[in-house]
Structure 1
Amino acid sequence: MQDSGVTPTDAHQGARRHLRPGGWAAVLVPVVATAALILSAPMPVRAVRDITFDSYQRLSPRPYDPTLPVRIVDIDDESLARLGQWPWPRARLAAIVDRLQAAGAAAVAFDILLSEPERTGGPEAPGDERLAEAVASAPVVMSLTLTNAPGETPLAPKAGFATAGDDPLNFVPRFPGVIPSLPLFTKPAAGLGALNWVPDRDLVVRRVPTLMALGDALVPSLASEALRVAQGASTILVRASNASGETAFGRQTGIAAVRIGDATIATEADGALRIHYAGTRPERRLAAWRLLDGSADTAALSGAIVLVGTSAAALADVRATPLEAAVPGVDIHAEFIEHVLSGARLMRPDYAPGIEVAALLTFSALAAALALRVRPLVSALGFLGLAATVAAASWLAFSRWAMLIDPVWPLAGTAASFATAIAIALRRTEAERRWIRQAFARYLSPEVVAALAREPGRLALGGEIRPITVLFADIRGFTSRAERLDAREVVTFLNTVHTPLTDEVMRHGGTIDKFLGDGLMAFWNAPLDVPDHVAKALKAALAMQAAIGRLAPTLAQEGLPPLAVGIGIHTGPACVGNLGSRHRFDYSAVGDTVNAAARIEQTSKVYGEPILVSGEVVAAAPAFTFVLVDEVRLRGRGEATRLYALVSGPDGKDAGFDDFRRQHDAAIAAAINGRTSAQELLEEVSRSPAGARHARLYAYHRTRLAENEPVPEG
């Protein structure tokens, strides 16, 4: 045999040098792509981010504080049923204002647009004047709606604005038109606020504007104006980028905060407040009919900001929030005010994408290092730990500091880099298996070595056709074992298994053709004549199975489970000789006989039989005991091949075995031919004591018959 001059260590290190640069480059691709997504935030990224943050709110909503001075007078379904359908007479709305003023409300804000004169007739026809009188005598905030339809409707704002830093008109939502409440109501009102929402593309109201713009004039939202009126403030202060204390380095980054009286609202760049919702609460509501008939307890209204709105289904003033799919719009105004008064904060800071990219880079590097340097199970557990760390950090930022840091996309990028690294690691494992095969020398029995020494001419290139018996053996479940071991442990394991198998092959006069990493190929009757080569191959197979059984205590000491070896044997003509070049060659066998033996070994996995042989082997070894297994079409062969299981050697047949074999072979033959009696025969033979060792074979045939499968291919 010609030595290649390449040691196992050289091959291993060379492969590592080859894999590492390309591997790290492949790992970086998903990281860079995910970082770009985080920074650019296209719609799918924002959608997933919103879902994540909504889930946080559902897991931990803002605790509701019933002492907060915010209440809703609800024109609910029962109020409509008792007092009549909408629209109500304006005098009735005036009565609501009067009762709220009498109860000591700090502000009364109408979440109702009264843009048209009253249409009702009768004695309540002067209702508009009656409501205007009530508005003039109470701290009332009337509403308006900003529109995208240009118009010339004059609007006299009630609130004054002071700005620090960049012009807020550059950042807030701007509208060209307006639909106000009637001037009869807006002139005497203490405040005037916009009803507009700016929902996200999924129509969920996560953020509510504090300010909007009508042309070049700032307009407060209804909730902001209610806060101003309740505190008796005249001016709203807006702090934007480049104000004193705001670090923007000359860039116009947006609004930082809005101050209304004593309340400072930290906003996002467009002046919107991201609300931490508490959810719809019955304690917040007071039915309008109870207020009007005097049955309501009005103690909680003293000093409160009271919003007049509706939850009636017929009026369809319904919005979606992170907590609920259908919420009356007036509740969102109330949540806004409660959020501000409670001192709650919920922000996605402008540096959040930077934190997320940093987390992506850090955890992707750690995950890739785990995948490439430790065993797959350990690396998988490590990745789960990293993922849990990212998720926990995001949750901690929300629950403790009210900061919204997205864990999903950093985790997605980390998972992608980890998966890429795992693929590289698995590829490396497969490469190491090939290196291990190359590292094993091609063994010959001592007799063959001596014969070659006597006849060096046999090393000349070329070959001959001669009958041989070929044996393939394969370690079952090697891949799953190898994934739990490092490279050194894999080599040790293979050496532990291959040594006794090799010893038995050579002890029975065989030639080791090659090691296949988790298996081996051997043949008999070449390069020297071996009398009874079929019998010797069969004896070697039985001895190999016995040797594997003796390895169980050794494997148990090393913490490894018992193993099984599948063996396939075929005999026939093959081309044997030195195959290769003058500089490097191997003594080997090729041809249909070799291919058939390999297919038989692979097929043995299906039936659960440890040693599977062809009909040619059975015919050449009458002294051995076999049972019929199946008839298959081996790839590359036109005719079906009968397969048998080797049961014992010439001296191993038990008394009464011949009766069992006849019963067994009859049942299997019936199954092969698809006879209707096959199921019954298989069931009967499976109940015999000797049939227990072939239970998997019987189960296979019963399933095959039940599913009417054709002759299998191997």
Structure 2
Amino acid sequence: MPERRFVLSLVLGIGIAGALLLAWPGAFAQMERLSYDVRMRLTALPSRADTRIVVCEIDDRSLRDLSRTDGIDWPWPRELFGEVVRFLREGGAKAVVFDILFDSPSRWSPGDDAAFASALREAGGVVLAATFSRAEVPAFADERIRRTALPWPGMPGSAPGFRSASPPVDPLVSASEGIGNVTPQADEDGVLRRIQPAVRLHGRMYPSLALATAQVVHGRRARTTALWRSLTLGGGTVPLDDDGNMVLRFHGGARAYRRVSILDVILSCRLRLEGKPPLVDPASFRDAVVFIGATAQGLYDFKATPVGGHYPGVEIHATALDNLLAGRAVRDETAGLPWLLTLIVPCAALAVAAGAGARSLALSLGLWVLLVACVLGGSAWAFALGLAIPTVLPLLAATTCYAASSSLHHLGEARQRRQVERAFSHYVHPEVVRELARDPGKLRLGGEEREMTVLFSDIAGFTPIAERLEPQAMVSLLSDYLTEMSEILHAHRGTLDKYIGDGIMAFWGAPLPQAEHAVLACEAALDCQARLRAMGPSLAARGLPPLSARIGINTGWMNVGNMGSRMLFNYTVQG
């Protein structure tokens, strides 16, 4: 492809891609999100989930059986959760995390909250949930949760700011080891792909439930700092996006983490008091981080995620903790690399269109599909390594550039075919013209040395004949002669060079190579002589004399091509 066409295709393709993005920004953003979700599902491996994380689920069975046998309906007495906390901590659980809101007093008894707080204080290592809101609540005061604020002046990027919070009730705040935000922040399509490790409230930064838990796991004094696009926690670093969010790396659909029904834990507590073997061995929770949250359908704590549209909210917080502890969140690359790919991939597409497109449309399309597969495969491979690279924009630019290049190529080919047809339709056999039009590359203009055969002929004694005839009769005779001879030359695949009065010049071996050029010229000469003899009776009937031709043929090396001046040239031979 000429440099001009390459640059024109690149500019045109990227310009069209930019116009499409400006016209439908939401559609392409959603395509990118869907591409992200596909890559997440392809690389989400349950084997990578942290086995120390356990979900103690409040499932439908737990709700049903406690209501049926004990008459306990949801929400349950908080003293019951206190028993669960004691059981888990006595078994060696490193932390117990509640994805349940205790932001209003218990409905069961005045002492229920105090009993729960006593259990939390006694067990230690418990993290509770709070929600944050952008609504101004007149009665809200943040003194209750101020002790849980992070020692940061701010958060990199644009961490969301809130005006109020709903922390646990007073006795529970002081009894807990930490309090974390559980307010979901889904993307525009309603899918939850990221969380805020910290949020801003009245000039202070407060941790998410996962970050508060990670601090408990590492120890409250673990160094936690937030820098540009990264979060350092206990010596490990977790990538953040431009807005200070942590892009979650899921490890499969629901049940990526070990689940234990809270009903079995409650029954195990009771069996131990009776001196009987528990249903669940408390030692199975040694060094575990246990999340207590709802998976029951009736409690409606499900979120849409890249790995499923019905994902328990408690497992989202478990996934976030997993990412924080392992330092394996997704790095959402939006800086220089995507723009570099937006130039490299279209250039590769143009190379495909230029190289393969000139040979075969099928080959070009095949290589184009291979290029797209390489981009998608490379993107999935990078995603498996933890790097999310936008793919829609590079592929969109590559597609428009490929289409622009192919269109310009085919328009150029069509124009070249028309030029070939105009240039040779009067010189050579129509079949030769069609072959040249199908593959103009076979035509090399500008002078080329070849072994060819050239034929010259004229009418013997034409001058005396012309002097005896009226001008109109002479023109008619010459026209009939040249027509008959030219048809024979074309029939033998000769190239008609020029007429010189009654003379004819033709050659073989160009513009298409002909191995049998000498034979074709000789056969054409014999047929011309035979045709002249056959024309004798018809000429005599018109009162015209018979004609005989003198024909000369020579085979040798000669130059062929467009020759002449800049103002006037024709396709001929010399030599």
TM-score of the alignment, normalized to the shorter chain, above 0.5: yes
CA deviation vs aligned residue, 1:602-642 (integer Å, no higher than 9, x gap): xxxxxxxxxxxxxxxxxxxxxxxxxxxxxxxxxxxxxxxxx
- Which of the numbers 161, 165, 170 marks the counterpart of 2:150? 161
Instruction: Answer yes or no: is 1:28 the counterpart of 2:11.
Output: yes
Q: What are the superposed Cα offsets for residues 234-267 of structure 1, whole Å, 9 maximum, x if unpaired?
A: 4663232xxxxxxxxxxxxxx3322333443222
Q: 2:338 aligns with which of 339, 349, 353?
A: 353
Q: How does 1:221-260 map to 2 (within 5 A)?
A: 221-234=208-221, 237-240=224-227, 255-260=228-233
Kept in 2: contact 1:195–1:221 (CA 8 A):
yes
Kindly tell me: are residues 239 and 179 of structure 1, through their superposed partners in 2, closer, same or farther at Cα, counting changes over 3 Å?
Answer: closer
1:204 paired with 2:178, answer no
Identify which of 53, 71, 78 aligns with 1:70.
53
Identity %: 23
Aligned residues: 459
Matches for 1:182-581 after TM superposition, within 5 Å: 182-234=169-221, 237-240=224-227, 255-279=228-252, 280-281=254-255, 284-294=258-268, 295-349=279-333, 350-370=335-355, 373-399=358-384, 401-440=385-424, 442=426, 457=472, 492=512
Comparing 137-146 with 380-389, greater Cα deviation is found at 380-389
User: In structure 1, how many angstroms separate the alpha carbons of the residues matched to 2:131 and 2:76?
Assistant: 20
Contact 1:159 1:234 in 2 (8 A): no
Alignment partner, residue 150 of structure 1: 136
Q: Give the letter aligned to residue 58 of structure 2.
A: I
Deviation of residue 43 (structure 1)?
Answer: 3.1
Question: 1:404 deviation in Å?
Answer: 1.3
Q: Which amino acid aligns with 2:29?
A: R
Distance 1:268 1:529, change over 3 A: farther
CA offset at residue 60 of structure 1?
Answer: 1.6
Q: What amino acid does structure 2 have at the position aligned with 1:68?
A: T
Question: Does the CA-based 8 Å contact 2:154-2:204 persist in structure 1?
Answer: no
For 2:295 and 2:510, locate their aligned partners in 1 and report how far apart those are by CA, in whole Å.
70
Please state whether the residue corresponding to 2:305 is helix, strand or coil: coil
1:347 to 1:311, Cα distance in 2 relative to 1, 3 A: same
Cα gap change, 1:430 to 1:460, in 2 (>3 Å): farther
Residue ranges of structure 2 left out of the alignment (5+ in a row): 68-72, 269-278, 430-454, 488-508, 542-567, 570-575
Aligned-pair distance for 1:495? 12
Aligned-partner residue type, residue 396 of structure 1: W
Q: Which runs of 5+ in 1 are unaligned?
A: 1-15, 241-254, 472-488, 512-524, 532-582, 585-714
Q: Distance in 1 between matches of 2:391 and 2:89?
A: 49
Q: In structure 1, what residue type is equivalent to 2:372?
A: A
Match of 1:111 in 2: 99
Q: Which amino acid aligns with 1:146?
A: F
Distance in 2 between residues matched to 1:443 and 1:37, nearest whole Å: 48
Look up the match of 1:580.
none
TM score, norm. by length of structure 1: 0.56
- 8 Å Cα contact 1:372/1:421 also seen in 2: no
Q: Residue 93 of structure 1 aligns to which amino acid in structure 2?
A: F
Cα distance between partner residues in 1 of 2:47 and 2:147:
31
Counterpart in the other structure of 1:141: 127
Q: Secondary structure at the match of 1:87?
A: coil
Task: Give the aligned residue type for 1:383.
Answer: W
One-letter amino acid of the structure 1 residue matched with residue 74 of structure 2? W
State the Cα distance separating 1:96 from its structure 2 match.
Answer: 1.6
| SS at structure 1 position matched to 2:387 | coil
Q: 1:424 to 1:405 in 2, by over 3 A?
A: same
SS in 2 for 1:325: strand
SS across alignment from 2:331? coil
Residue 13 of structure 1 is matched in structure 2 by: none
Tell me if structure 2 keeps the 8 A contact 1:436–1:491. no
RMSD over aligned Cα atoms: 4.3
How far the C-alpha of 1:437 sits from its partner, in A, is: 2.0
Offset at residue 387 of structure 1 (A) = 2.6
Q: Distance in 1 between matches of 2:474 and 2:99?
A: 100
